[in-house]
Each structure stands twice: as C-alpha cells, then as structure tokens.
Structure 1
C-alpha cells in the first residue's frame, strides 16, 4: 500500500477497508466506518479553523490514521501488529461481541497507543506542549464518540434502548472505560515519548502497548452481568454485518 499524505487519502483508504469488509461481512469494518466519520469531522474542523494550526493537524491526522490503516493491512497479510491492535482485530473472529465492543476496542488501541505516538512524531524536535490545545480537541472528538455510538446503536437496534432503560450496567461499563482512558493518560504518554531519547522509544512504546492491551480486557471480558447483557443485545442485533457497517457509515 502506498503512503498516505492527505486527509482525502485517509478517507479513500478507509472507504476501501469498509468496502472489503462489507463484501466479506467482516466486523473489522465497524471501526473503519466510525473512524471515517471522525476523519470527516477533523477535515471539517480544519476547514472551519477549529484547530490552532490546520496544516499541523492534517499532518497529525495522517500520521495517526496511518497507524491504524497500516496495522489493518499488516494483519490481513499475517504480519506483526501491536498487541493492542491484535486484540482488536482478533475480536472480529468471534460471534458474541456486540458492535459496541468492536468499536470500543478499536478506540482503545487507537487513542491510548497510536495518538500519543502520532503526537510525538508530528512534534519531533519541537516543544510538544505547543500541541496540547489541538491534542485536546482531537481527543475530545474521539472520546465523544462513545456516547454518540450508544445513541446511534439504540436507534438501529431497539433492544439496546430497552435494556438501557432496564439497567444502567452498560452505561456504567462505558463510563468506567472512559475513565480508564482518562486515567491512563494519552497525553502523558505523548509527552513522555517526546522527551525520551530516540534509542529508548521502542521499549517505551512496547511497554505502553502491553498496558493498553490489558485495558482491552475490560472490553473483551466485562464481567458476568455486563457480559450477559451484551449477549442479549447481540441476539437482538438485526441485519448482516455489511448492513450494520452501512448503518454506522451513514
């Protein structure tokens, strides 16, 4: 796959993943469909002057997105990927995870690991603190998707809405996961990586990857009560994987 240089090329690459996933009824297309929405929001934000530095934000977006896109294609070719992405990709082979779990585990790998690496890379040789404002803005867009997705899926699958009225356990699970993201500190990792000598960065990234993969266990193994609720939701999900991907894309 040729290198990506613009947001338009990011969107084109995501469209390709989505198309292949729909043809193959592959749950990996769920995250790609959601991420396409994120990328379009970032593109619109740059055009509207939402970010402090538009050109820098586009570079960050390209580096950030490329980590996911490269990992996806590497996985398809049975090449090594980070532990965090391996956990996310392997979930696609199982029947019971609901759409929301597929999305959350992708967000876990991408926000908790990839975002910090991309931030350090785009600010290489510069003061990373100057990126803090825009980092917060893009993280805000990403994190807000947790509840947006819950709402969207409730519209698509009424069973989820009924269960959410019956119990707050799913909401608690989402809130706890969001808190875990905040506690683990994507920005702190970006700063630490930026201030680490280049020869030591690979070891730091590997250590971070191991920690992020463990956070993924909150999603793949949420406990008996939440797990039971998710199974009920899974049985209530309507349509093929391809149709669900289309619902998320639109």
Structure 2
C-alpha cells in the first residue's frame, strides 16, 4: 500500500517505543515546549490524559489481551507523534492534521475547538491506519482486535465528556444558537469511532489491491481534514 507506506515516512524515529509510558513521555516533552494556549498543546494535553488512562488500565488488567491493546495504543500514538514531527521539520503532515497546525495560534479559535479538531484527526484517520498497522505487527485480523478497539474507545468517550465539561464555557454564557454550541454539537466521537472501524476493515480487505487502498486512504485523509477545518472556524468573541 503505497499511501500507507508514504504516511509511515512521517513517523518519527521512536527508538523502539514499545510501551505506553514511552509515548506518554514524548507527549510530555512536547507539551513542555509549547505555550498552554497553543492549539496543538491543547490537544496534546487531552491525548496525554487518554494515554495515561490507557496505561493505568493496562497495568490494572482491564484489557483481556494486553499485548494487542498495547500494540494498538502505541501504533495509534505514533501516528500523532509522526504528524508533529513532520510539521516541526517543515514537512507536510497528513491532510487531516494540517488545519490544527495552521490554526494553532489563531485567537478566534477556542480550546474546545482545538481539542475536538485533534480528536477528529486522530480518530477519523489515524485510528483506522493504526488498527491496520497493529494487525500487521501481530499477524491477526481486525476482528481479533475488536475488544481492544472498543475498550480504548471507551476511555476516549469518558474523557471526551470531561473535555467538553472543562473546555466549554458555562451554560450561562451560551445560547442555543451560539456558534460554539453548534460546532461542538455537530461532531460525534461515537460516529467517528464507527467510521474508523469501518475504514480499517475496508483497508484490510483491500490490502491486495494497493492502488485502490491508496486512493481510499487519500480520500479518507482529505475528508477528515475538511471536517477539522470546519471545526476550527474562527468565532466572534
């Protein structure tokens, strides 16, 4: 799959990261170098919380197949870290991530928008590719990773609710027709997860048709990037 291989070029050298603690440490190091209001920093804090929670659940035995869950979590994180590495080096990250890097310092974009745009890119695009990466690493089928996929998704769902509570202005400041309320309510983590699962299964089925798979990934990347650009629409004060 040429497109999958091309995207793998964005993956930063990991030095053999094979556990959640290693990728979490990299996220902490990145966050320490960015201003708190920076849009990528906002998402990085959110994702670090997810990664730490997955690590705690792995340590606590919450995943029946710990090796599969660990592989998926690390491959998933590497996709985000690769996008950061590409942007930092002056290269073009996947289209799904470009809006967040382009608007990261825009004063008219709220922290909630930054967080949702990052989650959209990571779930809508990266999760499907990470699942395929994991299947190749483990020598299994997507169906074999469904339990781990669902359990990691449950962590994301619980944190998404907290993110909305923490980053959304208080109800006294919002009205039904408020643009931020509209934008925040127009994106669904559940639908994004469903789409990622369907995309991963499609890519796996297309693994013997590299030209079709390449086009599929390219279209997926562009579609997720378009949603991200909409989520980052600058809003009036």
Flag whether TM exceeds 0.5 (same fold): yes
1:6 paired with 2:19, answer yes
| Aligned residues of 2:123 and 2:193 also touching (Cα < 8 A) | no
The structure with the largest helix share of the pair is 1
Contact 1:45 1:51 in 2 (8 A): yes
For normalisation by structure 2, the TM-score amounts to: 0.83
Alignment partner for residue 188 of structure 1, among 186, 198, 207? 198
**Which residue number in structure 2 is paired with residue 231 of structure 1?**
236
Aligned-pair Cα RMSD in Å:
2.3
- Contact preservation (8 Å) 1:21, 1:27: no
Q: Tell me the distance in 1 between the aligned counterparts of 2:73 and 2:194.
A: 22
Runs of 4+ residues over 3 Å off in structure 1: 166-173, 179-184
Task: Output the CA distance in 2 between the equivalents of 1:215 and 1:97.
Answer: 15
**What CA deviation, in whole Å up to 9, does each residue of 1:26-59 have, x standing for no partner?**
3321111111100011001111222231121111
Q: For residues 144 and 171 of structure 1, do their structure 2 counterparts lie closer, same or farther at Cα, with a shift above 3 Å needed?
A: farther
How many residues matched?
219
In 2, Cα distance between the equivalents of 1:32 and 1:180?
21
TM-score, length basis structure 1: 0.79
Distance, in Å, in 2 between the alignment partners of 1:151 and 1:119 is 29
Offset at residue 179 of structure 1 (A): 6.6
Q: Give 1:137-216 correspondences, 5 Å limit.
A: 137-153=151-167, 160-164=170-174, 166-167=175-176, 169=178, 170-178=180-188, 181-182=191-192, 185-197=195-207, 199-200=210-211, 201-216=213-228
Quote how far apart the aligned CAs of 1:119 are.
0.6
Gaps of 5+ in 2: 1-11
